[in-house]
Each structure stands twice: as C-alpha cells, then as structure tokens.
Amino acid sequence: GSATGTATQQAIYTLLQPYGVTTARFFINGVDTTTKGVDVVLRYRLDAEEAGRFDLTLAGNYNETEVTRLPTTNTLSSLPVPPTLFGRVNVLTFERGTPRTKFVASGDWSNGPWGATLKLTGYGTVLQPNATASLDYWTGRKAVIDLEARRTFGENLTWAVGANNLFDEYPNRTPAAVNSTSGVVGFPNYSPFGFNGRFLYTRVSYNW
C-alpha cells in the first residue's frame, strides 16, 4: 500500500505497516463532563363535573454541561503533528448542543367519549458550532404548540386528529456565510424540534 497526506498520517501508517494493517478505527471513552441543573414538575387535576376533567402539567428544567477533560495519549502526542481527537465542534456540541432551558405546559381534557390535549413547549437557544467561532450561529428561542382532539367509540376504538407544531415554527435560518453553495442547508441540524414545520395527522387505534 501507500500513504499520502500529513506527517501524522505517514507516522501512523509506518507504525501499523509491520502488522499488515492499512486502516484502523477505534473508539475512545476519554471525555469527562459535568452537568448541573434542576427539574421542576407540577401537576394538577380539576374535576369540573359536566364540563369534564382537566389534567394540567407544568414542567421546566435548566441544565449546564461542561467538558472538564479531553482525551490525550502519549503515543499520539509524540507524533510529528498530533491529531485532535476532540475539537471545538465536539466540545461545543456537548456544552451547547442542547437547550439549557426547556419548559412544557400541557392540558388534557376528557369528557365522556371526547378528549383533547394542548401542549406548549418552549426551547432555549442552541448553538450550531462550526470550525471557527465566527461561523457559529444559534437556533434561537422558540415555542412550539401541539394540539390533538379525539373521540372514543365504544370501549376499544379511538379516532384522533391533531397537529404537531401547529403554528409552523422554524429555527433561525442558516446564515449565508456557512451555507453550502447549493443552499441546501436551510436550517441548523441541532434544532431541538427539527426543521420540518407543521405536521398534521389522523390516527385510529383499537385496544383490547
């Protein structure tokens, strides 16, 4: 075989060549993180007699994750150009790749064969990291509303219609400076609620 590229690639190839190894892949469990946060959940049930029953939930959480140790090995450190096993994109993905804050307010109503669920989810902003800090961007703080109505027939059959992301919310658009030349990367991949917009559905379920 042959090897081309950086001095690091050549050094690794020289190390493995006596064993007939031309390629290698390995996993390393060398990253330490610390996460601190708080979760709060409140529930309340209201029986409104003829108006039906209401189950209300309010939940929120706040968390911070910090990468406290990065993987290093003496063998790799001794190479002419030591490779970066865990770069800034990886670190920022751990630390800011999910919302630090999230809250959910939901209400579930039932009255005889009828029922409905309304849920509001608020997401804190998420960082979409890139090779340099100047190209990093944020998804933005967003709120998403889901709504479902349902009807039960007899004891087993239920029909439901609903909408996820009722108001067609999207994360912030990918800046032109980091978009591909074809413009296909319209929204950040790190969006906590995706980037497909409103989803309408109907569902029939039968339980026995």
12 in the Ramachandran plot: left (φ > 0), alpha (ψ -120 to 50) or beta?
Answer: alpha
Residue 9 vs residues 13, 25, 131, 143, 203: alpha-carbon distances, Å: 6, 13, 21, 47, 54
Q: Which residue has the tokens 């406290």?
A: 68
Quick check: 74 pLDDT over 90? no
- Alpha-carbon Rg for the chain in angstroms: 25
Per-residue pLDDT of 197-208, as tens digits, reads 999 999 999 998
What DSSP letter does each residue of 81-105 carry, written as one string? S---SS-HHHHHHHHHSS-SEEEEE
Model confidence over 33-57: pLDDT tens digits? 999 999 999 999 999 989 999 999 9
* Residue 2: per-residue pLDDT: 40
**What are the residue ranges spanned by the domains of the chain?**
37-70+87-206
The conformation of residue 155, written as its DSSP 8-state character, comes to T
pLDDT per residue over 106-158, tens digit each? Answer: 999 999 999 999 999 999 999 999 988 999 999 999 999 999 999 999 989 99
